[in-house]
Amino acid sequence: MRKKAFIFDLDGVIVDTAKYHFLAWQKIAQELNIEFTLEHNELLKGVSRVRSLDIILELGNIEASQEDKNKWLVQKNEEYLTYLVDMDQSELLPGVLPVLEFLKQNNQPIALGSASKNARPILEKTGILHYFDAVVDGNDVTNAKPDPEVFLIAAQLLQIPAHDAIVFEDSVAGVQAANIAKMTSIGIGDKKTLFEAQHIFTNFSQMETSFIEELIKK
């Protein structure tokens, strides 16, 4: 069987930590008297922590010093981490584990490509770190999606050319990054939002083993 690089985003693909990010950002926004709704939170999908804060400040037309920004970034992360303390395998999204197991059984290289700087602790807490041959997160990249840097590094670590990489993403920016890198983009989530992806599934439970086999054969 041929080898492809299977690269997974984290938030919204493997685990639903987006809800925890939202609560942490909402607390910061409330302190700054900025309205921050679930709709606003969609703007932060696939975006770095620094850019996320800038977006929230723009929503409130607030200009801030770098010192204040740094303080809020630390505060947000500390708030977010409190929600991760009790994470376990039950936090995995539907169908993720069987897909990882199938890929591992078929000796397919697996990587994480995420903007999160807390990726490794989350993979450890959910008991799936051992599935990943490489982990590329927000600590390893300079450019945020839709720049394809995170995926290109992941493919390089797996020693697989970009055109043989398959990316699972839940954000528009992530799908665009995969497409820019000439990788196969698979959207996990809403079809209307992720229409730029080459394939779209609501979640991994909808993904047949035969589909993954075809991806490998191509």
User: How would you list the strands of the sheet with 184-188, edge to edge?
Assistant: 134-136, 110-113, 5-8, 165-169, 184-188, 199-201
Check if 86 is active-site.
no
3-state secondary structure 88-133: CHHHECCCHHHHHHHHHHCCCCEEEECCCCCHHHHHHHCCCHHHCC
Catalytic one of 11, 137, 164, 170: 11
Catalytic one of 9, 137, 164, 170: 9
Residue 166 per-residue DSSP state: E
Q: What is the Cα–Cα distance from 101 to 128, expressed in whole angstroms?
A: 10
Q: Which token pair is 15?
A: 């685990």
Closest CA to 204 of 1, 15, 3, 31: 15
Check if 11 is active-site.
yes
Q: Which residues are catalytic?
A: 9, 11
